[in-house]
Chains A and B, each alone.
Chain A
Amino acid sequence: MSLRIVVCVKYVPDASGDRAFTEDLTTDRESVDGLLSELDEYAVEQALQIAGSTDGAEVTVVTVGPEDAEDAVRKALQMGADKGVHVEDDDLHGTDALGTSLVLAAAIEKTGYDLVVCGMASTDGVMGVLPALLAERLRVPQVTLLSEVAVADGAVTGRRDGDAASEQLSASLPAVVSVTDQSGEARYPSFKGIMAAKKKPVETWDLDDLDIEADTVGLTGAWSAVEDATARPPRTAGEIVTDEGEGGKQLAGYLAEHKFI
């Protein structure tokens, strides 16, 4: 059996940096260092585990993003993915979730797939909608937000821990899955992996390669618009006391004063 796995990874600004917006109200991707979205490491990990237990499996990493986004692809290749695709085009600047799904779906189709693996959400937009959008566009089942996932006999199964219940899901391939940070620790690239990644192929595609019109994506093609963005005022410094036996009582006093008791 062969199994073509496509992992979708996003290159995001580091959450520990001072993330901000640029003048056109898009995410500032220049002044803060970027990296492979930590939650997508779980997707790479599960893809590699599934590939490891399937004969003839091949893992392709796909990202849509600016020039530096290739770093995210490289990291996934270092972890063990076989090859990469980087969709990059100046006209993609400011693309909304629906536009991103159009581009990503086209790249996945061009790559060829039996299984698409995504993270649960990016760490910048955090919408958690791309996997569902991809399933809708590709017209295949969505098996999303899995804390446990397995592929066997042309089907994918997994556990989705929802708000009200935990569900056991099953669908036949091809399918789109997303995995949570409960699915299992992601591996670190080994020295051997880092060396091997240097020789792994990464293709770069632009919108023409995917037959996508420039005006359907980017800021102009977006179906939503940010009107303004305001930095949250820092919380005004509160009162800090050191416990010398009365800390609990002092805190209770504060809570009572503010009518919580």
Chain B
Amino acid sequence: MIEIKNLTKIYKLNKKKMMELKTKETTKKAADNITLTAKPGEIYGLLGPNGAGKTTTLRCVATLLTPTEGSVSVCGYDTVKQSEKVRENLCFLTNEIKLDPHFSPKYLFQFFGKLHGLDDATIEARRKELFEYFEITAFENKRIEELSTGMKQKASIAVSLVHNPQVVIFDEPTNGLDIVTARNVTDLLLKLRDEGKLVIISTHIMSEAEKLCDRIGVIIDGKKVTEGTLSEILAETNGADLEDAFFRLYKEHHKEEK
């Protein structure tokens, strides 16, 4: 279970970042008073345009960032005060977080297994199961740098699942993958959900959110503008489909801003 309460994250901007964002302000409110709850056995999707604050929110959940205000708890543990406990219970996957290219999937699997305090037998059993599922047994001894992008992605998913986490966080799960690998990944997310895990993802792809997510939270400019199942959102906005609904919300939000 993930509980986000009034999460606000403010970045301090240096000169370079200010230039990038074309702003004169010295801070950036990337997450603005977000409150949401996600439960085991569901796929929760954060949907929003570029720069909406999806990655920021997920990083706060994964203990990589500390909230400026508000709090986040995972499986009942506070992400700031009990960050090690939180990390024991979740895995966080993105395109930016990668495996060391000099090592083999097998070595890294064992390495992270040990960091999670698992014994050799458990690690070995998990490895058999996951490597077979992801079909990486054939190249488990090759170095990561020798693998193709898809293989790398599979290997890093397998490695991050070594400790059988209750919460799976995935920032843009299908970004940069071909249809086949992307399908593999979405299948896995569905499988994890059916096992009773909590899956939370971020995306800006409407079809992905429609097909995959049990509940969707729409984030625009750091604020959660609405939340619910697909049909709930469509009903609320009178949208024909999610894309339509999204644009209505987007316009609505920007009218309020002005």
The yes or no verdict on A and B being binding partners is: no
